[in-house]
Chain A
Amino acid sequence: MMSAVKKSIVVEQLRKAQMIELLSKEKRLDNRGLMDFRPVIIETGVIDRANGSARVQVGNTQVIAGVKIEIGEPFPDTPEKGLLVVNAEVLPLASAYAEPGPPDEDAIELARVVDRGVRESQMIDLSKLVLIPGRKVYAVFVDVNVLNTDGNLFDASSYATVASIATSTMPKFYVDQNGQIKQSNEIIPLPIKGIPVSITMARIGDTLIVDPTSEEEAVMDARITLVFDEDGNLCAGQKGQPGTLNFDQVKTVANTAKVKAKEIREIIKGGITEDAKG
């Protein structure tokens, strides 16, 4: 059960009936079209102490992501790759129904789906983050904090993660003659190969919508997130919620999301270049 959303069975059923009625006329409570995103606002470089950071607003949903880069040991099964760790938390200040405590299954799923998109799109060339193979590598930690929930945490968290990684800088480290890791004065960016874009859609009744709000998520049957790389390939996906999609709906989602991803990529790139200009 979504910790950040209050569910009441009676209200849920009433709302759902109302929502389905509205959606059958292709209308949404906030007057958006079925395939329209809410305004997406991306600001980067918002935390000076972080190597990279981004605040993302998707309508009233607000998240902030910060990147910290350290020197660490690689995973035993990938000795020649740097580390990437994505964590997500819905902070208690994010909604009346969020509670403090360790990440619950929703937050864990959120972090893992965001991580999968960044990792599988090969956004960061992790093979370039190795100092001593098998022993010392750069470790990129991305922490996503949800500040205000109003649905579609998956996409908002993904955009914040991607924008913060794309604008991260770090001191260049090197291995000296004695095999010690030393920090140089040179500041370098992360080796970025492309910008992955996550698109989340929801099925309510027979209608598919993009970028669901909290109200829509409270009554949705199923949720599906797909992540696309720059060439329009799929690199991660996750169906969520105890509802189903039929085969045609899956194909419709794949086709629609691909188009939407292109549109959102421009917004993310805009947020990233804003930062580069200073």
Chain B
Amino acid sequence: MRELIDEKGLRIDGRRADELRPLRIEVGVLKNADGSSYIEMGKNKIVVAVYGPKEVHPKHQALPDRSVLRCRYHMAPFSTDVRKPPQPSRREIEISKVIREALEPALMLEEYPRTAIDIYLEVLQADGGSRCAGITASAVALADAGITMRDMVVACAAGKVSGQVVLDLNDMEDKEGEADMPVAIMPNLNQVTLLQLDGMLTPEEFEKAFEMAMNACRRIYEVQRKALMDKYFGKGEAGEE
């Protein structure tokens, strides 16, 4: 197995254990969508569009007391090293489901009965942690669409690489490391909306990774806020009054 952490404690991309990859979020990148966003997190490049609230098709899906939230996470065929066939894989179907369930608690869907809200995530380039970057970007796009929300949702993974608990795994760390644990939270309501674990952690490492991911989520939340502030209040005026 390749050495994923060197003797100085630095990772293959030069990061320390609790360091995030470079992160950039843009708001309102697609004109047709009701809300949209673009995120770069490490080598991840993901564009998200939100359409709705709108009429439900097919009609039988409509709910009398709230909006139907639908979500599609999809990877472009050129987003990975080996071409990914365009039809949705089982992995993409599962991820679409967990992303939807991670975002739904933050949305006041009862405000929009008999409608649908569609979230489309297109992964243009994939790195480790694309579902987390996708959730973070989707929450921004939902806010951009003006959907009433209880809180933002922000996601980040922690895991274990070469015996160490590390934050925000990249593609190689995800594939060759021991464990990957994506976590999404609502940062003001202090609620976990997504938790997955793929790989082995002791109970102590689990707790450490969980804390590390939550702290990182709070840092990423500030980037989400700033991106929205930049769009709606102009650059330079973002932040506290």
Contacts and interface: CB of A to CB of B under 8 A. Distances in A.
Interface of A: 9, 76-77, 105-106, 108-109, 111-112, 116, 120-122, 224, 226, 229, 232-247, 249-251, 254-255, 258
B97 interface: yes
Contacts of A116: 198
A235 B191 contact: no
Given A109-B97, A251-B207, A246 B192 contact: yes
Tell me the dominant secondary structure on chain A's binding face: mixed
A232 B101 contact: no
B100 A242 contact: yes
Contact of A240 (B63, B101, B186, B200): B101
Nearest to A77: B175
Contacts of A242: 69, 100-101, 104-105
Nearest to A103: B90
Interface residues of B, number: 39
Nearest to B96: A105
Interface string B203-217: 100110010001000
Interface string B103-134: 01100000000000000000000000000000
Closest 6 CB pairs of A and B: A237-B197, A242-B104, A244-B191, A239-B195, A242-B101, A105-B97
Given A246-B190, A250-B210, A233 B101 contact: no
Given A237-B196, A238-B98, A247-B214, 19 more contacts: A9-B64, A108-B94, A111-B90, A112-B94, A226-B197, A234-B200, A235-B201, A237-B195, A239-B192, A239-B193, A239-B194, A242-B101, A242-B104, A244-B193, A245-B192, A246-B190, A246-B191, A250-B195, A258-B203
Contacts of B57: none
A9 B195 contact: no
B158 to A, nearest CB: 13
Contacts of A111: 90
Contacts, number: 101
If over half of B's interface residues share one DSSP class (helix, strand or loop), that class is named, otherwise mixed; here it is: mixed
Contact of B206 (A105, A121, A229, A254): A254
Nearest to B64: A9
Contacts of A9: 63-65
B181 interface: yes
A236 B93 contact: no
Contacts of A237: 181, 195-197
B199 interface: yes
B32 interface: no
A108 B94 CA distance: 7
Contacts of B98: 109, 238-240
A108 B192 contact: no
A115 to B, nearest CB: 10
Contacts of A236: 197-199
With most chain B CB atoms within 10 A of its CB, the pick from A108, A111, A116, A241 is A108
B87 interface: no
A238 B195 CA distance: 6
Contacts of A226: 197
Contacts of A255: 203
Interface string B129-142: 00000000000000
Contacts of B210: 247, 250-251
A51 B97 CA distance: 33
Contacts of A243: 105
A120 B200 CA distance: 7
A108 B206 contact: no
25 contacts: A9-B65, A76-B82, A105-B93, A111-B90, A226-B197, A233-B201, A233-B203, A234-B197, A235-B200, A235-B201, A236-B199, A238-B196, A238-B197, A239-B194, A240-B98, A240-B101, A242-B104, A244-B186, A246-B190, A246-B191, A247-B192, A247-B210, A251-B210, A254-B206, A255-B203
Contacts of B207: 251, 254
A120 B105 contact: no
